[in-house]
Chains A and B, each alone.
Chain A
Amino acid sequence: MRFKIFFSRFVPYLLLIVVTLPIIIGYVWILISTFSTRTYGLLPVDKAGRPGGWTLSNWSFLSKPEIWMVTSNTFILASGLTIGVVVVSMMAGYALSRIKFPGRKAFLSLTLILHAFPTVTLLIAIYFVLRWISVIPVLGRGLPIIGGFGYNTLGGVILVSLALQLPLGIWLMKGFFDNVSWDMERAALIDGCSRFRTWREVMVPQIRPGIAALSIFSFIQGWGSFIIPYSYMVNANRATIATYLNNLLSETAPTNYSMVAAVGLFQLLPVLVFYIFTQKYLLSIFAGGVKGAA
């Protein structure tokens, strides 16, 4: 009897640990590997294969100028995506939640359909769209910092990422606006406040948790995004941290994985920090049905 209780109490934990092990091992490896010359499995070793070999030399990539170039690109991509998604989604979400207009239901169902639609299937066609945008003077490829909105520009990558994330953003923001009380808004409108001012000064401040959730989520998405910059930047290994890391990974033998692991941890760290401190916000998005890879 005692054995049975013991059994039923500990078996779930044991099972969970076993199935979760590959994930845990992956993250433990990246932590160990980053600070060792090389690793045999999870064991840090020196060049001769003896245990030990702790080192900081894997972080020497930080002194290369190209890492800071790709980091600043990645940061611009993530911030641009975040600002764009949040602003556009808040505007559309507000209209869909609070204003009655012809075609509202149609637009709402469109948002839902697009949310379920697998956007990666459009990557090939979007290549042509970007090539066309490139031809537009100034907007195509003549802007400072983001380069423009055409093919092979950071702005183009931002714009595509933004558009593909919109259905989720609009749907989320609509949901948050739905939960705001009508009284303040009505008061503002009756007092003669314009719709736009009501939106900006009365409504937006009331959905701060929603804005925080969507911002953090979008930033993480932009920071880690791979396929879009990889497809639309010509010199992909110098575009973002993800494409730079992918390039390193494909040309490095497992012998030197520690060096690559350090770059990986460099990209992973901000995500982990966000995840640990803002889990509550992120979960509200995951619960809303994120599609994503698989």
Chain B
Amino acid sequence: MNPDIEMTEKTTGGGGKYDWFWFLLPALILVVIFFFLPIIITFFISGTNMSTATGFQNWKWIGLKNYQRISSHPETLEHLWLTVKYVAFTLVFFNLGMSLVIALLTTHISRGVGFLFRAVWLLPRITPVVVYVMMWRFIAADAPYGILNQIIIKPLGLKTANWLPMAPFLFIVLVNGFIGASFGMILFSSAIESIPKDLMMASLVDGSSYLQRIRYLIIPHLRWPLLFVTTFQTLSLMTSFEQILVLTDGAYNTEVWALWAYHKALSTYSGNLQWGFGTALAAILVTIGIVMAVIYMRYFKFEELVQEPKIETQ
């Protein structure tokens, strides 16, 4: 049968006209309650002075005052600069740099061993976050317990310390970077493996070195995944704070923007929860998130992914 005819063929069977609605309903309800509603709530509350002091009854509409407070807040620049630094370092050294190195190395060596190393690099991603952070805290811990002190610092005769408060920025980058690297690693290594074998052979015959091959053959081939990983992971890093929350809870100057918002609005340590101010901080991230998500959808050729259904019911 001609597939084109098949495409438009109508069946006379048991499908009803509104079947699709019932299939979508549960998802639709959840998306409305836990995506749409929260987005509206975020922007709405960011325009009020709502806090535990005002409660849910006595709050007032204050327009853009929360945003003015953010722009004049003494800590704003500090958190902003830290967030930029944190995203940039983690992205460059791990989500792009390390993941590219691992993808190149594991596709260069024997297949089985390469696969094994990639499997190890996926471990941090599937390990429960608190267990994973616990490992890093012990690596950083003071002598004689901490691994870093026992293995490197002591044999070199340097002064031991608890390295988490000593180098907090380094550790938030490491903790997130070792999780983040596996994302690019998977995309890059499958892209490298998809490079036609004869292209690789041709460059070998030409006598080009491995480094030349990386520069002139592999990297150009990876342009698309590189762009995807960069944009996708920038957004992820900018908004994620779970690992930092468990590692330092924002202590030692590690309170990134998203964690700042979370603390202001939901942390029970400070007596008064500033819901208005906290949601205003979050609203900025939500806005960036929506804009960037829409851009990806447009940019990463959504139309091609959509397949038309072949069965129509009357």
* A interface residues with partner B (beta carbon < 8 Å): 8, 12-13, 15-16, 19-20, 22-27, 29-30, 33, 38-43, 49, 87-89, 91-92, 94-101, 104-105, 107-110, 112-129, 131, 159-160, 162-164, 166, 170, 178, 182, 185-186, 188-199, 220, 223-227, 231, 241-243, 245-246, 249, 254-255, 257, 260-261, 264-265, 267-268, 271, 275, 279, 282-283, 286-287, 289-294
Which of chain B's residues has its CB closest to A160's CB?
B34
Q: Is the CB of B126 within 8 A of A99?
A: no
Size of the chain B interface, CB-CB below 8 angstroms: 122
A112-B302, A125-B41, A166-B27 given; A15·B105 CB < 8 A: yes
> Interface readout for B22-52 with A: 1 if CB under 8 Å, 0 if not?
1110111011011101110110010000000
Contact B134 A40 (CB under 8 A): no
**Inter-chain pairs besides A92-B24, A227-B129, A249-B134, 18 sampled, C-beta below 8 Å:** A12-B108, A26-B136, A30-B135, A39-B145, A88-B30, A117-B35, A118-B235, A122-B282, A125-B37, A125-B41, A125-B42, A127-B265, A186-B11, A189-B311, A193-B13, A224-B129, A249-B246, A291-B232
B307 surroundings in chain A (CB, below 8 A): 97, 178
Cβ contact within 8 Å between B31 and A23 = no
- Residues from chain B with a CB closer than 8 A to the CB of A260 are 134
The answer to whether A41 and B151 touch (CB under 8 A), given A24-B120, A125-B279, A125-B282, is: yes
How far apart are the CA atoms of A28 and B283 in the complex, in Å? Answer: 42
Residue of B nearest to A224 (CB): B128
- Among residues 164 to 213 in chain B, which have CB atoms less than 8 Å away from a CB atom of chain A? 174, 176-180, 182-183, 186-187, 190, 210
Residue among A96, A99, A231, A245 making CB contact with B19, cutoff 8 Å: A99
A188 and B39: CB pair below 8 A? no
- Asked whether A129 lies within 8 Å of B41 as measured between CB atoms, the reply is yes
A113 touches B27 (CB 8 A): no
Which residue of B has the minimal Cβ distance to A249? B134
Q: Are A195 and B310 in contact (CB under 8 A)?
A: no
